[in-house]
Amino acid sequence: MHSIFVINPGSTSTKIALYKDRTETFHESLTHSADELAAFPTILSQFDMRQQAILAFMNKNNILLSSIDAFVGRGGLLRPISSGTFAVDEEMVRDLRSASYGEHASNLGGILAYALSTQVKKPAFIVDPVVVDELDELARLSGHPELPRRSIFHALNHKAMARRAAERLQKKYAEVNLIVVHLGGGISVASHQKGRVVDVNNALDGDGPFSPERSGSLPAGDLVRMCFSGKYDRAMILKMITGKGGMVAYLGTNDMRQVKNRIKSGDERADTVFRAMAYQISKEIAAHGAVLKGDVDAIVITGGIASDTQFVEWISERCAFLAPVMVIPGESEMEALAFGVLRVLLHQEEAKKYCATV
């Protein structure tokens, strides 16, 4: 039986879990308060604090590093790579630490896994990071050669839920065409064609529907004029796109529970914004129907907001004409990370090597 330690850093927490083959033996979310995080100027500078929190938890619960067979962290912003399980090495850690491709809490996943693994000479991995790139060449063109479309999305959960959906259809992932919709703080909609994500919106700071905290696509000319108005600096504009865009910009909150309570109390503005988010998601799904030429086995709706039956119904009533709607609420990131490593340990697939340049 293989013991796999899973690390999934988020903006205000570090989720950890231990798996014995396919069985989760514990799952814990180590929370980091706003005051605690305020002491660090960058996400990467939080490394020591987060590592000590993990080690303290392991010590308190009598979990020995030496008892772990493999460590896995959520993959961060790296150069575009293929789908799969990658061995973490110094080259990958160097790119994650430099934040050359962007800074995100998930960058710490591979770094933390590698740091712990080297202490006991065990392997470390990442699985399906957000930069998985399987785009069709047609999907890369944005309208200007200096601004190519980039593949940045919730690849880990997309791939895990797509495999689960294929099982429900009694087919293999490589045999089906799916439109997968991840509904979280960021929203990504992707065309999964026979096991490859051939088109997807940049869910970090690029395009697609607006989300609880991201603006999605914006009117380009108006955005340019805003940038040169003198009212905003670069950091402010970027924050308006990611972090303070979408629902936060309209309603001042990214908490869907608050939004629903406001709607129940008669807040018409909150109701309009919530419906508009579902409307934009529906348009994005329909566009992916064109990508797949109408050959769609299922529309798979997943992520935290997928548990909101009313919101999913608004989407379904606009898109069900394309294909059956399959709802799989929540995220299976910890499981997906562990199972990706388990496939390598069982020699069902080979771990891939990261190359900083291609």
- Note the residue count of the chain: 358
Amino acid letter, residue 191: S
pLDDT at 357: 64
Q: Say whether both 165 and 276 belong to one domain.
A: yes
Number of helical H runs and strand E runs in the chain: 13, 12
- Do residues 274 and 246 touch, judged by C-beta distance below 8 A? no
- Do residues 197 and 139 touch, judged by C-beta distance below 8 A? no
Q: Indicate whether 148 belongs to any domain.
A: no
Q: Indicate whether 358 belongs to any domain.
A: no
**Residue 182, exposed/middle/buried by CB under 10 A (0-12, 13-18, 19+)?**
buried
Distance, CA of 154 to CA of 189 (rounded, Å): 9
- Do residues 162 and 175 touch, judged by C-beta distance below 8 A? no
Q: Say whether both 122 and 161 belong to one domain.
A: no
pLDDT at 37: 87
Average pLDDT over every residue of 332-353:
95
Q: Say whether both 9 and 112 belong to one domain.
A: yes
Amino acid letter, residue 12: T
User: Quick check: 358 pLDDT over 60?
Assistant: no
Distance, CA of 49 to CA of 53 (rounded, Å): 6
Q: Say whether both 170 and 302 belong to one domain.
A: yes
Q: Say whether both 340 and 312 belong to one domain.
A: no
- Structure tokens that stand for 108 in this block: 């710490």
Q: Indicate whether 298 belongs to any domain.
A: yes
Instruction: Please identify which residue in the block is written with the tokens 């805003």.
Output: 226
Q: Say whether both 229 and 190 belong to one domain.
A: yes
Cα torsion angle, 301, 256, 185, 337, sign? negative
Q: Say whether both 279 and 159 belong to one domain.
A: yes
Q: Indicate whether 230 belongs to any domain.
A: yes
Cα 27 vs. chain centroid, distance in angstroms? 19
Q: Indicate whether 138 belongs to any domain.
A: no
**Predicted TM-score (pTM) above 0.75:** yes
- Do residues 90 and 37 touch, judged by C-beta distance below 8 A? no
- Do residues 181 and 299 touch, judged by C-beta distance below 8 A? yes
Count of domains forming the chain:
2
Q: 236-248: per-residue pLDDT in tens? A: 999 999 989 999 9
Q: Say whether both 49 and 164 belong to one domain.
A: no
How many Å is the Cα radius of gyration of the chain? 20
Pairing of strands 325-329, 352-353: unpaired
Distance, CA of 79 to CA of 303 (rounded, Å): 25
Residue 98 belongs to domain spanning? 3-131+334-353
Q: 62-81: per-residue pLDDT in tens? A: 999 999 999 999 988 999 99
pLDDT at 127: 96
User: Quick check: 204 pLDDT over 90?
Assistant: no
Q: Indicate whether 328 belongs to any domain.
A: no
pLDDT at 191: 98
pLDDT at 331: 81
Domain CATH for 280: 3.30.420.40
Taking phi over 0 as left and psi of -120 to 50 as alpha, with beta for the rest, 214 belongs to beta
User: Quick check: 294 pLDDT over 80?
Assistant: yes
Beta strands across the sheet bearing 177-183: 196-200, 187-193, 177-183, 298-303, 325-329
E strands along the chain, which residues?
3-9, 13-20, 23-31, 70-74, 85-87, 124-127, 177-183, 187-193, 196-200, 298-303, 325-329, 352-353
Distance, CA of 98 to CA of 107 (rounded, Å): 10
Q: Say whether both 59 and 115 belong to one domain.
A: yes
> pLDDT-derived band of residue 356, with 50, 70 and 90 as boundaries?
low
pLDDT at 250: 97
Q: 97-152: per-residue pLDDT in tens? A: 999 888 888 999 999 999 999 999 999 999 999 899 999 999 999 999 999 999 99
Q: Say whether both 56 and 103 belong to one domain.
A: yes
Amino acid letter, residue 325: V
Tell me if residue 351 falls in helix, strand or coil: coil
Q: Say whether both 237 and 102 belong to one domain.
A: no
Q: Say whether both 200 and 83 belong to one domain.
A: no
Q: Indicate whether 99 belongs to any domain.
A: yes
